[in-house]
């Protein structure tokens, strides 16, 4: 299907009402909007919390606001007010999907539970820290607490330092992607079974626990908790090179052999004992210092290109200006600007590409309530 502009959109004709207040749920509806859905953000007169969240641009505008709220229309409604709540319910009555981050008790107090709409065809996606059921359903959380409760912090960082949560809003992004995928799956089911909507319950902690599965399963199978890497293991993470840092993967025998030959460590390359992964791990103190010293003389892009020729998995640590200047991303059209603001800021591109129905960025992040009159007229018509 296409929208009014004629551009083919995978979710054209799908209307989404977003009453959420968290980054994870906001990213869910942003992905739905990028796929062509008409997303209407209901926010309080004070505005979505992301509008008051840093970091901020030189203009004073919130950078997270620009990222998470783009491609949506905004209407201000005070859900504590009976008249505004009635407008919200009318909007939801004409929607395909409702996205919420509210706890069960909050939805019940507002009269916005799934059952209250009396619609078997409605899809309602909940994105909350701990899910809509269980003893923690009413407990608040954020990316810091999710990083701790999911187990991720227990393996992130080095053993000589405190546990680290995943960087920035990793948990929110992962949960938003999971909720988007689950919502599209539920929409596909409804298309195949008309009238059969459902609730989609996404717990951010469970999303991160699921991505922690290798470490979790290793601990279950061995009976020992996986721990953070030793700070003495120089090859456990990026190591210094002449102009920055570099990550070198030595997980396979031919990676080891070809990398060692390139680094001028032929004796290590030819030692058959190092062909076994378990042996390399057990004896890493015997070679990690030599390997790190040999790498320190290389510039990261030169080393990457030589290893790429040899098909050794490796990567330079790119800082933000270097990432933006990457020819590969430029050639793929990764960076983009909102169609309604072609001179405005650049946005990171889509997480995937589709040939027939590509993701599009039509709108910059709306001002609080920017589309209130427009949306109200649609409700009345």
pTM of the model: 0.92
Cα–Cα distance measured from residue 26 to residue 42, given in angstroms and rounded to the nearest whole number: 11
Give CA torsion, residues 323, 329, 330, 332, to 10 deg: -170
Phi, psi of 61 (to 5 degrees): -75, 145
Specify whether the CB–CB gap between 137 and 104 falls below 8 A: yes
Which tens digit of pLDDT belongs to each residue from 98-147?
Answer: 999 999 999 999 999 999 999 999 999 999 999 999 999 999 999 999 99
Residue count of the chain = 381
Residue 4 has pLDDT above 90, yes or no: no
> How close are the terminal C-alpha atoms of the chain, in Å?
24
Which tens digit of pLDDT belongs to each residue from 161-178?
Answer: 898 888 889 999 999 999
Query: How many beta carbons lie within 10 A of that of residue 154, not counting itself?
Result: 19
Tell me the pLDDT of the chain averaged across its residues. 93
Q: Could you tell me which of 132, 138, 154, 156 has the C-alpha nearest to residue 206? A: 132
Which tens digit of pLDDT belongs to each residue from 209-226?
Answer: 998 767 777 778 788 887
Q: Which are the contacts of 116, defined by CB distance < 8 A and separation ≥ 6?
A: none
pLDDT at residue 330 in the model: 93
Domains of the chain in sequence order: 15-212+333-380 (3.40.50.10540), 239-316 (3.30.1540.10)
Which tens digit of pLDDT belongs to each residue from 265-290?
Answer: 999 999 999 989 889 888 888 998 89
**24, HSE (Cβ side, Cα atoms, 13 Å):** 28
Q: Which two tokens stand for residue 17?
A: 């009402």
Bridge partners of 201? Answer: 126
Q: Could you tell me which of 359, 233, 246, 335 has the C-alpha nearest to residue 295? A: 246
pLDDT at residue 96 in the model: 98
pLDDT at residue 212 in the model: 77
Which tens digit of pLDDT belongs to each residue from 239-271?
Answer: 899 999 999 888 889 999 999 999 999 999 999
Residue 295 has pLDDT above 80, yes or no: yes
Q: Which two tokens stand for residue 286?
A: 């015997």
């Amino acid at each position: 299907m296409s929208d009014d502009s004629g551009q083919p959109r995978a979710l054209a004709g799908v209307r989404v009402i977003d009453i959420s207040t968290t980054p994870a749920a906001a990213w869910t509806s942003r992905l739905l909007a990028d796929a062509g859905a008409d997303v209407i953000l209901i926010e309080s007169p004070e505005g979505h919390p992301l509008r008051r969240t840093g970091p901020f641009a030189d203009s004073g505008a919130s950078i997270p606001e620009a990222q998470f709220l783009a491609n949506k229309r905004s209407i201000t409604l005070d859900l504590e007010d009976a008249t505004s709540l009635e407008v919200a319910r009318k909007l939801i009555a004409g929607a395909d999907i409702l996205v919420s981050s509210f706890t069960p008790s909050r939805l019940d107090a507002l009269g916005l539970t799934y059952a209250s709409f009396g619609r078997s065809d409605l899809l309602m996606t909940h994105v909350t820290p701990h899910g809509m059921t269980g003893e923690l359903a009413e407990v608040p959380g954020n990316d810091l607490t999710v990083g701790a409760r999911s187990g991720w912090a227990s393996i992130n960082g080095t053993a000589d330092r405190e546990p680290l949560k995943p960087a920035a809003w990793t948990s929110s992004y992962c949960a938003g992607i999971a909720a988007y995928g689950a919502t599209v799956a539920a929409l596909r089911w409804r298309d195949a079974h008309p009238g059969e909507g459902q609730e989609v319950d996404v717990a951010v902690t469970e999303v991160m626990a699921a991505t922690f599965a290798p470490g979790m399963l290793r601990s279950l199978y061995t009976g020992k908790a996986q721990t953070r890497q030793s700070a003495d293991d120089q090859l456990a993470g990026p190591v210094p090179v002449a102009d920055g840092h570099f990550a070198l993967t030595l997980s396979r025998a031919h990676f080891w052999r070809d990398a060692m030959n390139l680094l001028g460590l032929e004796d290590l390359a030819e030692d058959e004992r190092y062909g076994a992964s378990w042996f390399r791990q057990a004896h890493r103190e015997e070679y990690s210092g030599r390997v790190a010293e040999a790498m320190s003389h290389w510039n990261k892009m030169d080393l990457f290109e030589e290893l790429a020729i040899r098909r050794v998995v490796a990567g330079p640590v790119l800082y933000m200006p270097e990432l933006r200047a990457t020819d590969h991303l430029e050639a793929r059209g990764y960076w983009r600007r909102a169609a309604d603001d072609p001179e405005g800021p650049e946005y990171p591109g889509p997480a995937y590409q589709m040939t027939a129905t590509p993701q599009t960025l039509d709108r910059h992040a709306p001002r609080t309530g920017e589309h209130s009159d427009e949306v109200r007229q649609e409700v009345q018509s």
